[in-house]
Amino acid sequence: MNTGSMVLESEKIEAFKEGMPNRGGDEKHEDKRVVMKFGGSSLADAERIEHVAQLIKSQIAIGNRPAAVICSAMGKTTNNLLNAGDFALEGRVNVDALRTLHHTTIKEFDLGQHVADDITELLNELENMLNGVKLLQELSPRSLDMLVSFGERMSIRIMAARLNQIGVPAEAYDSWTIGMITTSEFGDARVLPSSMEKIKNTFSNKIDPNTVAIVTGFIGHTESGKITTLGRGGSDLTATTIGAACSLDEIQVWKDVDGIMSCDPRMVRSAVPISRVSFEEAAELAYFGAKVLHPIAMMPAMEAQIPVRVKNSYNPSHPGTVINKDRDNENLVTAITCKRDIQLIDITSTRMLGAYGFLSKVFNTFEKHKLSVDVLASSEVSVSLTLDKKSSVYKGHPLCDDLGDIANIDVKEGKAIITLITDIKRSSEVLATVFKVFMEKGIEVEMLSQGASKVNISFIVSDSLVESAIHSLHMCFFEEQCEITMPTNDKEV
């Protein structure tokens, strides 16, 4: 397998190594050893790739040393590959756009024949594969994984070549060559635990610590050598896996924002970047669609207790957000999120006795209709819950028929969930503050849920009031720090 060893401009590289803050050996290790991950939009074209390459170089110069850089496919390449697969099934094989994108980039940097040949070889392999799909009229999950793998396999070779050209010693590696071995659940493979040891050994014994390993995100191999993918957006998981396997100081996910925000900036313009969140809080935020890592991607970092830092490649001196073991206890509330346009369903048992089994019947019915519930509150004879737009219940929905003989169902439209990511050990303080704000603004809470996770408190309000509610809460928790006088005695009421 050609791992794309690039044209080394050895003189420049030697000079650069001299200038490195730490060259290993007997010198003191003061550099931060990190893994950096860059997503597709950060690598969309030559200009973006150049920005990232220069960023890596300047980060090394200030002691932020990547053992590995994980790259996604360039721009929308993964989607384009998936489309190319569909077209092949319809009888059309065309990789022109992908050829143009990758070869134009190579030309713009003047990366030379060697790199161009490597990419041509991959593109030809891709084209052959698509011709196979066209002939066989078959595109299995296993073939799909092989198909999309070409995106990352091309992007790393270009990135490594550009880094070498600007004097940063780099080498491209398809992830399996460094030990990324997975299960065979194509499209959604899991990293095998044995990969950790393999990756660690590769980095300690085979990769020159003065070279940056440029590694394909998102893809892996089964033990028998079949290419797999880790699910869409899987490059983050590649980064956390390598960071954990090599016990690096930090896992850095570079984006184009200053980190995780206190609130959606499209809703609250004065939203601020959060400096620190716990893994649990970040997972909760991800669920609400905040630009965070997928909870699965955080697992390796969480287990190895390695901080994940979300940083802005357009503002590299900003510290970004650190996701770590502990939350930031200086702030009562970490972030405010919301989910709009949801339904609130009240289900009240019509059998006054034997509430026994009522909840289980309700949940079984929701499961039967594949309706996933977000927030929930219950009493012995009733349960209220919310459903998002994707799984809404309408008049005459089969759910109502199924539950009709045991309950009355009342569906209320136009609701929103406001969720505060906070430490629920301080819930009295949070609730007192929220209700003070809501009382001042005349906002009624229709349902409340707390405690299922240790980091969130949710309020259901009318969707028409959500903006005013969130603005006021943000103002109170993040801007004006409004005061709530808590009783001084310790007795809980």
For residues 219 and 282, which CB has a smaller minimum distance to ligand ASP in the complex?
A: 219
Closest separation in Å from C-beta 155 to ligand ASP: 9
Whether residue 338 contacts residue 386, with contact meaning beta carbons closer than 8 Å, is answered with no
Q: Which of the choices ligand ASP, Mg ion, none does residue 220 contact, using the CB cut-off of 5 to 8 A by kind? A: none
Residue 24 is classified by DSSP as: S
Query: Is there binding between residue 233 and ligand ASP (CB under 6 A)?
Result: yes
User: Radius of gyration of the chain from Cα atoms?
Assistant: 26
CA pair distance 41, 316, nearest whole angstrom: 17
Which residues is 172 bridged to in the sheet?
A: 214
Closest separation in Å from C-beta 39 to Mg ion: 5
Q: Which of the choices Mg ion, ligand ASP, none does residue 340 contact, using the CB cut-off of 5 to 8 A by kind? A: none
Which strands, in side-by-side order, build the sheet including 170-173? Answer: 170-173, 212-216, 64-71, 32-38, 250-255, 308-312, 321-324, 276-278
H helix intervals, 343-478? 358-368, 398-404, 427-441, 466-474
Q: Which of 241, 353, 334 is CA-nearest to residue 283?
A: 334
Closest separation in Å from C-beta 218 to ligand ASP: 4
Query: Is there binding between residue 422 and ligand ASP (CB under 6 A)?
Result: no
Closest separation in Å from C-beta 188 to ligand ASP: 12
Which parts of 165-224 interact with ligand ASP (CB under 6 A)?
217-218
Residues binding ligand ASP: what is the number (CB under 6 A)? 12
What tokens does 220 get?
A: 């892996």
Q: Which of the choices Mg ion, ligand ASP, none does residue 232 contact, using the CB cut-off of 5 to 8 A by kind? A: ligand ASP
Among left, alpha and beta (phi > 0; psi -120 to 50; other), residue 469 is alpha
Q: What is the 3-state secondary structure (H, E, C) of 442-464?
A: CCCCCEEEECCCCCEEEEEEEHH
Query: Is there binding between residue 252 and ligand ASP (CB under 6 A)?
Result: no
Query: Is there binding between residue 78 and ligand ASP (CB under 6 A)?
Result: yes
What tokens does 77 get?
A: 């390449």
Find the part of the chain contacting ligand ASP (CB under 6 A) among 16-24, 27-35, 91-99, 233-241: 233-241
Of positions 42, 64, 72, 105, contacts ligand ASP by CB under 6 A = 72
For residues 217 and 259, which CB has a smaller minimum distance to ligand ASP in the complex?
A: 217
Closest separation in Å from C-beta 235 to Mg ion: 7
For residues 175 and 321, which CB has a smaller minimum distance to ligand ASP in the complex?
A: 175
Closest separation in Å from C-beta 141 to Mg ion: 19
Closest separation in Å from C-beta 236 to ligand ASP: 6
Closest separation in Å from C-beta 19 to ligand ASP: 32
Amino acid at site 428: S
Residue with tokens 């539950």: 403
Binding site for Mg ion (CB under 5 A): 40, 72
For residues 40 and 179, which CB has a smaller minimum distance to ligand ASP in the complex?
A: 40
**Cα–chain-centroid distance for residue 43?**
17
CA pair distance 416, 198, nearest whole angstrom: 47
Which parts of 359-418 interact with ligand ASP (CB under 6 A)?
none
CA pair distance 45, 187, nearest whole angstrom: 26
Neighbours of 332 (CB within 10 A): 17
CA pair distance 340, 317, nearest whole angstrom: 35
For residues 73 and 457, which CB has a smaller minimum distance to ligand ASP in the complex?
A: 73
CA dihedral 172, 64, 257, 466 (to 10 degrees): 120
Of positions 143, 235, 334, 337, contacts ligand ASP by CB under 6 A = 235
For residues 105 and 458, which CB has a smaller minimum distance to ligand ASP in the complex?
A: 105
Whether residue 288 contacts residue 339, with contact meaning beta carbons closer than 8 Å, is answered with yes
Q: Which of the choices ligand ASP, Mg ion, none does residue 179 contact, using the CB cut-off of 5 to 8 A by kind? A: none
Of positions 4, 39, 259, 320, contacts ligand ASP by CB under 6 A = 39
Which strands, in side-by-side order, build the sheet including 456-462? Answer: 373-378, 382-387, 333-349, 407-422, 456-462, 447-450
Find the part of the chain contacting ligand ASP (CB under 6 A) among 53-61, 71-79, 95-103, 162-170: 71-79
Find the part of the chain contacting ligand ASP (CB under 6 A) among 108-116, 229-237, 382-390, 467-475: 229-237
Of positions 4, 66, 220, 234, contacts ligand ASP by CB under 6 A = 234
Which residues is 213 bridged to in the sheet?
A: 68, 171
Query: Is there binding between residue 155 and ligand ASP (CB under 6 A)?
Result: no
Closest separation in Å from C-beta 69 to Mg ion: 15
CA pair distance 351, 457, nearest whole angstrom: 31
Under 8 Å CB-to-CB from 14, ≥6 apart: which residues? none
For residues 78 and 175, which CB has a smaller minimum distance to ligand ASP in the complex?
A: 78
CA pair distance 98, 104, nearest whole angstrom: 10
Find the part of the chain contacting ligand ASP (CB under 6 A) among 5-13, 227-235, 240-248, 383-391: 227-235
Instruction: Select the residue whose beta carbon is closest to Mg ion and give its number.
Output: 40
**Which residue ranges make up the site for ligand ASP (CB under 6 A)?**
39-40, 72-73, 78, 151, 217-218, 232-235
